[in-house]
Amino acid sequence: MDLNGKFITFEGAEGSGKSTQAGLVLNYLESKKLPVTLLREPGGVKISESIRKLLLDVKNTGMGDECETLLYMAARAQMVKEVLQPQLNSGKIVLCDRFLDSTIAYQGYGNGIDVKTIEQLGLFAAKGIAPDLTILFDIQPEKGLSRAGTKKDRIESRSLEYHGRVRGGYLDLAKKYPGRIKLIKVDADKEEIFKRVKSHIDALLAI
Ligand code: TMP
């Protein structure tokens, strides 16, 4: 597979500000007239957005951990086929708000699904496509959840212990893949955080 674009993902716990930063990176790259798209997971295309509704609906209390994992993968597979792969093939820079690391952190470390199984399913769903760069925003669950607002979805409503395991998962991933994953502590205002994000983006894209 010859992918000549660049794939950059934004990861982190609830309320870490990753979506805001992804938007700032989009504006920055557009201002440089670079060909860039921003997607989100789960979602990004019609079928995956429908799956997102199922996944986040608080009414779906009976959803099993295996079903949840496979639905995240199903949403991913459709997004990869419809946009990610074609856009990377055509040389675009694709920014994605969450990707496979989220499944490892939330369904693997959070729910206890075997991480190797998730990695294998991830390869299948994403056709082997992996990020060139991942920016991971680290925040304490207490802080993040309070920033996430009061109307919580099915995943946000989980316990502080659950979100603590998710954070631990992310930190393990950052240790395991120090070349790809750049860890940013959310300990400053969004302008300062963006400066740190931008330095990693500039290094990857050589701009
Ligand atoms: P968002 O809040 O970043 O839009 O993401 C939606 C929720 O889905 C968030 O609580 C994290 C969760 N999630 C998983 O549990 N596993 C996944 O693979 C992905 C992509 C998201």
Domain residue spans of the chain: 6-205
Longest dimension (CA), the chain: 48
Give residue 149's pLDDT.
76
Q: What's the pLDDT score for residue 151?
A: 87
CA distance linking residue 109 with residue 114, whole number of Å: 9
Q: What is the pLDDT of residue 33?
A: 97
* CATH 2.60.40.10 matches 6-205: no
pLDDT in tens, 138-158: 999 999 988 877 789 999 999
Mutate to test the pocket of ligand 1, among 18, 38, 41, 84 (most ligand atoms within 8 A of CB): 41
Closest atom of ligand 1 to CA, residue 99:
20
The position carrying tokens 């856009």 is: 87
pTM of the predicted model as reported, rounded to 2 decimal places: 0.97
pLDDT score, position 3: 67
The whole-chain average pLDDT of the chain stands at 96
Residues within 6 Å of ligand 1 by CB? 14, 40-42, 72, 97-98, 102-103, 106-107, 155-156
Long-range contacts of 191-196 (CB under 8 A, 24+ apart): 193/17, 193/21, 193/137, 194/21, 194/24
